[in-house]
Amino acid sequence: MALTSSEVYKLTAERLRQLCSKEGLDSEGPIRSLRQRLVRHLSVSKMTSKQEMESEQASAQTDSSLEAAIGDPQNPNNSSHVGPGDSSVTVVVELLRKVQTLSSDEPEAILRLVNKLDEIHALGLIDDKMFIVRILPLVSGAVLRFFGGCLRNGRNWAQCKGDLLREFFPHFVCERMVRDLIFFNFHEEGQALRELADRVFAAARFLAYEADEERLVGRIVMHLHPAILAHAAFLERPRSRKELMNAIGLIEEKVSVLKERKFSQPALPRGRTTRVAGDRPGTSRRLRAPVDVGIVGAPAT
């Protein structure tokens, strides 16, 4: 109804009763009561229409902001952060698909997830808000509510990790994990050296373990398996993460050479004998396999 309050008072009695009936109002009674009744109805209708319009506008703004931040889930390349030919979001989505979803709220499970996510975030392909939105399907329960709060409060990834540590890793739990993952994380035979080093550095970074790089490297070297320490005996002691990775590369190369020599060295037939000059007639000597001096510090094959 496109009537104003002033126009209501200009209506005839018959027209006034028709409009009241049309709007579902009582059309009986004196003209003055009908006018007041219709004016109140118009005021309520206008107020309701205004509230609905504001709600629709706010909803539209929220939807457009969310679409601009997230993009089309079916087509990640439609994101506002992605230009023509840019596949950064697609790459992040593919990497996140390989990350195992969080199965529980246990600190160990959360730490494994955060370490995996940290590796992807370190690539710097998308901004922090987009990254946090993309990891929401990987979490549930209290952790999902936590990351939702980070989005509402505009926290970046580094701030989220700090809040996550305080929220889910109480002091005693943090101390226990530092002990298990750094102080007594012994290298097992057959375990990849680079994997061990990466796990120690990732745990120290997230758990805010206050130790410099040289101390962490010394801890890793001290916990290496004895068989690996034998190969590293004559290498210069590493004091940084870069030097540690260089030393690991040399150790891996040395182990590979030893394996190759072991497989390529021909074995002598059993029971084979030969004569040596100067021996008495009728005597012979059994041949023995040559001793492999190997590489310095390596076990004999």
For residue 156, how many other CB atoms are within 10 A of its CB? Answer: 13
pLDDT tens digits, 103-151 = 888 999 999 999 999 999 999 999 999 999 999 999 998 999 999 999 9
For residue 203, how many other CB atoms are within 10 A of its CB? Answer: 19
72 beta partners = 75
CATH architecture for segment(s) 5-64: Orthogonal Bundle (1.10)
Domain spans in the chain, listed from the N-terminal domain onward: 5-64, 88-230
**C-alpha distances in angstroms, 254 versus 30, 222, 294?**
107, 19, 10
CA dihedral 216, 218, 223, 225 (to 10 degrees): 130
**CA-based diameter of the chain, in Å?**
150
pLDDT tens digits, 245-279 = 998 898 888 888 888 888 877 655 555 555 555 55
Angle value at C-alpha 121, between 118 and 125, nearest 5 degrees? 165
Sign of the CA dihedral with 267 first, then 270, 272, and 273 last: positive
